[in-house]
Amino acid sequence: MQMQDVLGLILGGGAGTRLYPLTKERAKPAVPLAGKYRLIDIPMSNCLHAGIEKIAILTQFNSVSLHRHIHRTYNRDVFSPGWVQILAAEQKPTSVDWYQGTADAVRKQAIEIKQAGAKYTLILAGDHLYRMDYRKFVEQHVETNADVTVAVQPVGRDAAPGLGILKLDGEKNVVEFKEKPKTDAELDVMASWPGAERSFMASMGIYVFNTDMLFELLDGDGNDFGRDVLPQAMESCHLKGFIFEGYWEDIGTIQRFYQVNLDMASADAPFDFYSAKAPIYTRARFLPASEINGASLDDVLLTDGCRISKSNISNAVIGLRSIVKANTRIEATIIMGADYYESEAMLQENATKGIPDVGIGEGSSIAGAIVDKNARIGRNVVIRNIPDRPDGEGPNWVATDGIVIVPKNAVIPDGTVI
C-alpha cells in the first residue's frame, strides 16, 4: 500500500470543556502527557511511522500553543515530498460560523482537503493514547473495497453503555450502529461475538474514507461523524470495521487524564513509551539531566531538567523542569513542570514581592492532585486527597472528580490548605 495516497487528518478543534482547567489556556491536543509529550504527539507519531507524508491538523479553540508546538516540532525539510499543515477555523463567503462538530470541521475545510489530492482520508482524534500501524488499517480498507472503515476495539458488556457500538458480521461488515446502548435488550442485539468476554465493538473515533465518498456523505446537514455520518454511511456505503486489540484510551476527562498519566508511572505501564521501533516524537528541548539530592522516589515517571531536593515522591509524574524543594511529600499526583527556569534576578524579585518561586515549596504535602505548568506552590502548602470531595472552584484551584487541579501559572501562598 502506497501511503502517499493517504491524507492524515487530525481533529484538534474541540473546546475540551471536560478537561477544564487544563484547557483554559490551551487546546485539548496541546495538553501535556506523561511529563514531556503533548496529546497531539500520539497521532502525529503514528502517522510518521506509517509513512503518511501529508498531515493536516484542524484547529479552533485556544490554538496558539498547539500551533507553536506543531511548528517547532514537525518541520519537513525542503527535500521531503510531504507536509504538515494547520487548517484553522476561518470565516469564508460560504460560512461565517465556527466548526459545529467533527464532521462539520472537515466539511468547512473541503477545498484544502481536496487540494491534497489524496485518494484516502484517514480521520484521527487528537486526544487518544494508543499505538496503531495505520498501514494495516488502510490496507484492510483497500483490500476489502470498503467505502468507509471504522477502527473498533472489543469491550465488555460493562463498558459498552458509555460508547458508540458497532455490530460486525463474520466478514467485518458493519451491520448495525448504536450510540451508547443502555438496556439489556439493546445490548443483546449489538453483541458481535455473543458469549465472548469482549463481545462488543466500540468505535474508536478513527476512520478511513475514500475521499470522494467522504464529501458525498458530508453533502448534508450532519455535524458529527459518530452521530450523523456513520448511520448515513450504513445505508448507502460499504462500511467495514477494523478490529484493534491493543492499548487505547480516550483522554477526554480529568479522571481519565489523571489515571492514564499515573498508569504510565507504574512498573507495568500498559503503554510502552520506550519502544525502539516506534518512539513517540515530541519537541526537542535540549534540557540537562535531572538532579536528585537525597530524595526517595517510588513508581515515579521523572522527565528531563528536574531538580529534586530531599523529599518523598510516590506514584507520580514529574514533568519537565520541575523544581521540588526539601522536606516535601508528593503522592498520586501529576506535576507538569515549567516552561522555563527562573534566573537569580527573578528569584530575588519573587522574594521582594513575597510570592513563591515556580515549583513546589519546602515542606509542602500534595496528594491526589494535578499541578499544571509554571504553578507556584508556596512553603508548607497542603493539598489533600479528600474522599468524595465535591466539585468546586477556589482561589487558584479547581476540584473535579475528587481531584484538585492547580491551573497553569497559579500561585498558592505559603501555608495554604486545600
**What proportion of the chain, given as a percentage, has pLDDT over 70?**
98
Supply 182's cell numbers: 443502555
Where, residue-wise, is CATH 3.90.550.10 in the chain? 3-263
pLDDT at res. 122: 98
pLDDT at res. 93: 65
Of 223 and 120, the one with more pLDDT: 120
Where, residue-wise, is CATH 2.160.10.10 in the chain? 291-412
Residue 295 has pLDDT above 80, yes or no: yes
pLDDT at res. 245: 94
On the CB side of 329, CA atoms within 13 Å amount to: 8
Model confidence over 105-157: pLDDT tens digits?
999 898 999 999 999 999 999 999 999 999 999 999 999 999 999 999 999 99
Residue 102 has pLDDT above 90, yes or no: no
Residue 165 has pLDDT above 70, yes or no: yes
Cα 187-190-196 angle, rounded to 5 deg: 85
Residue 100 has pLDDT above 80, yes or no: no
What distance in Å separates the CA atoms of residue 43 and residue 337, rounded to the nearest whole number?
23
Residue 183 CB partners (closer than 8 Å, separation 6+): none
Q: Are the beta carbons of 178 and 164 closer than 8 angstroms? A: yes
Most confident of 81-90, 244-253, 363-372: 363-372
CATH number 3.30.365.10 is the correct assignment for the domain at 3-263:
no
In this prediction, residues 267-279 reach a mean pLDDT of: 94
pLDDT at res. 234: 87
In this prediction, residues 161-170 reach a mean pLDDT of: 92
pLDDT at res. 222: 82
Out of 3.90.550.10, 1.10.510.10, 3.10.310.30, 2.160.10.10, select the CATH number for domain 291-412.
2.160.10.10
Of 97 and 331, the one with more pLDDT: 331
pLDDT at res. 235: 86
224 confidence band (pLDDT: 50, 70, 90): confident
- 63-100 burial by CB neighbour count: b if 16+ within 10 A, else e? bebbbebbeebbeeeeeeebebeebebeeeeeeeeebe
Model confidence over 11-24: pLDDT tens digits?
987 778 899 999 99
- CA 211 from chain centre, in angstroms, equals 25
In this prediction, residues 158-175 reach a mean pLDDT of: 93
Q: Are the beta carbons of 89 and 60 closer than 8 angstroms? A: yes
Of 198 and 90, the one with more pLDDT: 198
| Mean pLDDT estimate for the chain | 93
Residue 104 has pLDDT above 90, yes or no: no
Lowest mean pLDDT across 97-101, 199-203, 260-264: 97-101
In this prediction, residues 357-384 reach a mean pLDDT of: 98
Enter the pTM of the model.
0.94
Element (H, E) at 47: helix 41-49
pLDDT at res. 95: 63
For residue 187, give Cα distances in angstroms to 71, 161, 176, 196: 45, 8, 12, 13
**Reduced DSSP (H G I as helix, E B as strand, rest coil) percent helix, strand, coil of the chain, to 5:** 25, 30, 45
Model confidence over 42-66: pLDDT tens digits?
999 999 999 999 999 999 888 899 9
pLDDT at res. 231: 87
**What proportion of the chain, given as a percentage, has pLDDT over 90?**
79
- For every residue of 100-163, DSSP letters joined together read -SHHHHHHHTHHHHHHT--SEEEEEESSEEE---HHHHHHHHHHTT-SEEEEEEEE-TTTGGGS
- For every residue of 167-196, DSSP letters joined together read EE-TT-BEEEEEES--SHHHHHHH-SSTTS
Task: Assign residue 276 a region (left: φ > 0; alpha: ψ between -120 and 50; beta: otherwise).
Answer: alpha
